[in-house]
Structure 1
Amino acid sequence: MDAWLTLAFLCLACCCHGTLACPALCKCYLRRAEVVCSEAPLAEFPSEGLPANTTQLTIQYTNITSISGHHLSAVPLLEGLHLYSNNLKNLSSDLLQGVPRLHTLDLTGNKLADMPLKVFHHAPLTSLVLKNNLIEKADPEWLPDNSSLTWLDLSGNRLSGVPSALLQKLPRLENLDLSYNQLEKITPKSLDPLAKLERLNLQHNKLSSLHPLMFQSTRNLTHLFLPENRLEKLSPSLFHGLDKLKVLSLDDNQLRFVQPELLDQLLSLEEEGLDLTVNPWLCDQKVEYLWRWLQKNKEKAFLVDTVRCAQPQTLAGRSVVSLTQSELNLES
């Protein structure tokens, strides 16, 4: 009985000192120092009652519209902050000033457009996710010089370009996701500072061409995604030096043929690692290089039998790999 009374007294003491408190509309998992708030009626940041030792905080599907450094000062040991699908429109410039251990910040699915300068300063962020917001311009001044970021996700926004000055601040970056934006071009050498980049996603943009030297300094790339663009022609030297590339997606573009030597440099492609489907391949003598490459590397092409001719009409719908030399008017 004495033991039970002692335990009850300790629990009461803890509650009085706030260590077991939990904000309304939130759930607190004390053993793993995590708080999850996912109730729509929540309209303000739940500063009061947050356990001071919280290291992981998730606030999702609420009506919170703004967040400041003052709010986060309630959780100075925070390491991961996940703010999915709220109604955030405003962030303060001192946002991360009171969370010196924060390494992961996820702001997916909010209504962020313009953000203040230095908004992501003051904390050693390694992962920043701004997916599915309303951002039209990525300001280099959001980030500190020599940023610690290894993961940056800007997908699902309204970007028409990415400033070189922003990329220059990301020497440690390993993953860059710019998919589902409105990018029309990427300036030559803009990716040069990203020597450690391993994954680059440019899916579903408006790219019609790529500079021949675009990837000259990103030789650690293992995954490159370029589908759903408007690419018509690729320089034969475009992939030169990418000898670690395992996955390359070029599907759903406007490619009619590929230049000789383009694919020969991709020695590390994994099985079904190259996607060339949904392109209007012109199956005349210009397709010879692709035809011969596919004959030798069938296992590296994704759904190789669906890489089909669009023209001429007599071969439309045929898989490129199934064609014969006579059909392509090639000499033996």
Structure 2
Amino acid sequence: MNLWMLLIFAALAECAHSCPDLCSCSFTPTSAEVVCGQSALTHFPVDGLPSNTTRLSIQSTNLSSITASHLGAVPLLNNLQLYHSNLKSLPSDLLENVPHLNMLDLTGNQLGRLPSHVFSHDSLCSLVLKNNLMETADAEWFSGNSSITWLDLSGNRLTVVPAALLQKLPSLENLDFSENNLQDLQPAALRSLHRLETLNLASNNLSSLKPTVFRHNLKLSQLFLQDNQLQELPGTLLQGLQHLNLLLLSQNQLQFAPSGLLDDRRSSFRIVLGGNPWVCDEKMEYLWKWLAAHPQDVHFLEEVTCARPEALKHRQVVSLTSSELGLHRIQSQ
């Protein structure tokens, strides 16, 4: 091997193991992972970025912008994290030079409106847009046959669940709309999500749910509805959800549970019910009997307490007698 070849290989080796300023890098024989976490970073770290980078994390910086040409420096990228980097916008062609990208996390930026086709990317499976400034989620972000399985839109300003967008995401398994301003959930909103396993609607302003809203989500195993304004639930709400293992209904405005709501649950089923203003009268009969038969299925059972009547306030529902609920009186009439 002549001198020129040695110099070329030496230069390539040095390039492969270079690392940008204000970043740290780790290397394997075939790939590199780069983490940049300095507030002094104001531009995408192209200089020194290993071309074989597969994972890039830029966090707590003042990046403010990123382009497709920037990502062209790392064509093998499969995981991109841009946390808290003051991004206010994204170009529509952002992902065109990273054909292997399957995970994109944009948590904690200042993104509001995004351009059409920005996430129309065949390999993208996981998209996190948590804690941004979005008031709407546009169906035009995606192509018609998206492979997204994980979508996190929590911590934004959404007021409705975007049915048109979800129709383009038939492969979704995990969907997070928590900590938004949702006030209603239309029956058709989740209709196309036949593979959905986890749905998080916690910390919104939902006051009611239609009886058929989850009818097409038969693989649902985890349902988070805590910290809403739910006042009453349909008895058939969970009908057909044979795989449901976890249901959180805490911190709502529920006064009783309708007959049939929790029938036919699996042995692995768990529920959280605390923090509701339960009214302990004859309408509590169904939940009272269910709690007595399934105490092992209730997390924080001691927190399921009466808010009314005054004589029973703070009493654990499971500790009540039938006469205290007024059931003897009803049966004797």
Give yes or no for TM over 0.5: yes
- Give the counterpart letter for 1:72 in structure 2: L
Q: Is contact 2:122–2:146 with CA below 8 Å preserved after alignment?
A: no
Q: 1:172, CA displacement in angstroms?
A: 0.7
CA distance in structure 2 between the aligned counterparts of 1:222 and 1:122, rounded to whole angstroms: 28
CA distance in structure 2 between the aligned counterparts of 1:182 and 1:153, rounded to whole angstroms: 15
- Give the counterpart letter for 1:68 in structure 2: T
Q: 1:280, CA displacement in angstroms?
A: 0.3
State yes or no: 1:21 paired with 2:18.
yes
CA distance in structure 1 between the aligned counterparts of 2:167 and 2:128, rounded to whole angstroms: 18
CA distance in structure 2 between the aligned counterparts of 1:143 and 1:175, rounded to whole angstroms: 17
Alpha-carbon RMSD across the aligned residues, in angstroms, is: 1.6
- Give the counterpart letter for 1:98 in structure 2: N
SS of the equivalent of 1:274 reads: strand
- Give the counterpart letter for 2:253 in structure 1: Q
SS of the equivalent of 1:200 reads: strand
Q: 1:265, CA displacement in angstroms?
A: 3.3
- Give the counterpart letter for 2:131 in structure 1: N
Q: 1:148, CA displacement in angstroms?
A: 0.5
Q: Is contact 1:136–1:159 with CA below 8 Å preserved after alignment?
A: yes
Q: Is contact 1:233–1:255 with CA below 8 Å preserved after alignment?
A: yes
TM-score relative to the length of structure 1: 0.94
TM-score relative to the length of structure 2: 0.94
| Equivalent residue number for residue 194 of structure 1 | 193
Q: Is contact 1:282–1:312 with CA below 8 Å preserved after alignment?
A: yes
CA distance in structure 2 between the aligned counterparts of 1:29 and 1:247, rounded to whole angstroms: 39
Q: 1:13, CA displacement in angstroms?
A: 2.8
Match of 1:280 among 277, 285, 291: 277
CA distance in structure 1 between the aligned counterparts of 2:189 and 2:216, rounded to whole angstroms: 10
Structure 2 matches for 1:45-84, cutoff 5 A?
45-84=44-83
Q: 1:195, CA displacement in angstroms?
A: 0.5
State yes or no: 1:249 paired with 2:248.
yes
CA distance in structure 1 between the aligned counterparts of 2:61 and 2:113, rounded to whole angstroms: 21
CA distance in structure 2 between the aligned counterparts of 1:196 and 1:102, rounded to whole angstroms: 22
SS of the equivalent of 2:113 reads: coil
CA distance in structure 1 between the aligned counterparts of 2:136 and 2:276, rounded to whole angstroms: 31
Q: 1:9, CA displacement in angstroms?
A: 6.8
Deviates more, 1:41-50 or 1:25-34: 25-34
| Equivalent residue number for residue 300 of structure 2 | 303
CA distance in structure 2 between the aligned counterparts of 1:247 and 1:98, rounded to whole angstroms: 40
CA distance in structure 1 between the aligned counterparts of 2:198 and 2:241, rounded to whole angstroms: 12
State yes or no: 1:137 paired with 2:136.
yes
Q: 1:20, CA displacement in angstroms?
A: 2.2
CA distance in structure 1 between the aligned counterparts of 2:26 and 2:236, rounded to whole angstroms: 54
CA distance in structure 2 between the aligned counterparts of 1:38 and 1:183, rounded to whole angstroms: 33
Q: Is contact 1:96–1:123 with CA below 8 Å preserved after alignment?
A: no
Q: Is contact 1:242–1:265 with CA below 8 Å preserved after alignment?
A: no
Q: Is contact 2:304–2:316 with CA below 8 Å preserved after alignment?
A: yes
CA distance in structure 2 between the aligned counterparts of 1:222 and 1:317, rounded to whole angstroms: 31
Aligned residues: 323
| Equivalent residue number for residue 172 of structure 1 | 171
Q: Is contact 1:99–1:123 with CA below 8 Å preserved after alignment?
A: no
| Equivalent residue number for residue 310 of structure 2 | 313
Deviations 1:249-308 (A, max 9, x none): 0000000001101111323543xx101100000000000011000010011011112100
Q: Give runs of ≥4 in structure 1 deviating > 3 Å.
A: 8-12
- Give the counterpart letter for 1:313 in structure 2: E
Match of 1:323 among 307, 310, 320: 320
SS of the equivalent of 1:67 reads: coil
CA distance in structure 1 between the aligned counterparts of 2:48 and 2:194, rounded to whole angstroms: 44
SS of the equivalent of 2:199 reads: strand
- Give the counterpart letter for 1:282 in structure 2: V
| Equivalent residue number for residue 4 of structure 1 | none
Structure 2 residues without counterparts, runs of 5 or longer: 1-5
Structure 1 residues without counterparts, runs of 5 or longer: 1-7
Q: Is contact 2:280–2:312 with CA below 8 Å preserved after alignment?
A: yes
SS of the equivalent of 1:289 reads: helix
Q: 1:189, CA displacement in angstroms?
A: 1.9
| Equivalent residue number for residue 5 of structure 1 | none
CA distance in structure 2 between the aligned counterparts of 1:235 and 1:290, rounded to whole angstroms: 14
Q: Is contact 1:87–1:110 with CA below 8 Å preserved after alignment?
A: yes
Q: Is contact 1:239–1:266 with CA below 8 Å preserved after alignment?
A: no
CA distance in structure 2 between the aligned counterparts of 1:179 and 1:305, rounded to whole angstroms: 26
CA distance in structure 2 between the aligned counterparts of 1:154 and 1:174, rounded to whole angstroms: 14
